[in-house]
């Protein structure tokens, strides 16, 4: 099963989602990320956070959703609609859910405050990914409606 973490810039949240999912996922599950308007570079604070959390930082790139290496089965949008961001709508046959997370790239303040914004985004995503991976995935793959309901529910979880 292929999971796509999708946002606008593909520089922070979707990269954190992809890396965290792949770090925790069981065999047979793979995440990728993309943006509807990619910035062209992964935010250095995203890579630094992944390294601090013991995850690989190699191979990540800000890319468009029309350059995906595989067709996604599940699309998770991570834009924060409360912040007025317009989240892209994936037009493929994938099951879609929304897990809004504030974009840490827009954080201001001291280095510590900006790092804290990145950590908050990461913790939210990790909490949701852990809940996703705790589901009876083999069973839910056969019941798309129930899987969709579970993913929608998970999208409101906070650490």
Catalytic residues: 7, 79, 87
Q: CA nearest 90: which of 107, 111, 76, 104?
A: 76
Cα separation, 42 vs 83, whole angstroms: 21
Residue 139: strand, helix, or coil: helix
Beta bridge partners of 32: 4
What is the enclosing helix (H) or strand (E) of 37?
Answer: none
Mark 47-82 as b/e (b = at least 16 C-beta within 10 Å): bebbeeeeeeeeebebbebeebeeebbbbbbbbbee
């Amino acid at each position: 099963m292929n999971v796509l973490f999708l946002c606008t810039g593909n520089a922070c949240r979707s990269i954190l989602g992809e890396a965290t999912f792949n770090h925790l996922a069981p065999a047979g599950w793979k995440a990728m990320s993309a943006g509807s308007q990619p910035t062209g570079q992964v935010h250095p604070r995203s890579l630094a956070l992944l390294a601090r959390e013991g995850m690989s930082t190699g191979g990540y790139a800000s890319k468009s959703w029309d350059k995906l290496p595989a067709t996604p089965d599940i699309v998770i949008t991570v834009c924060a609609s409360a912040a007025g961001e317009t989240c892209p709508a994936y037009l493929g046959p994938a099951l879609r859910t929304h897990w809004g997370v504030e974009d840490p790239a827009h954080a201001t303040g001291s280095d510590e405050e900006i790092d804290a914004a990145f950590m908050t985004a990461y913790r939210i995503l990790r909490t949701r990914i852990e809940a996703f991976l705790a589901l009876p995935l083999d069973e839910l793959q056969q019941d798309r409606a129930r899987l969709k309901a579970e993913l929608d529910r998970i999208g409101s979880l906070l650490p």
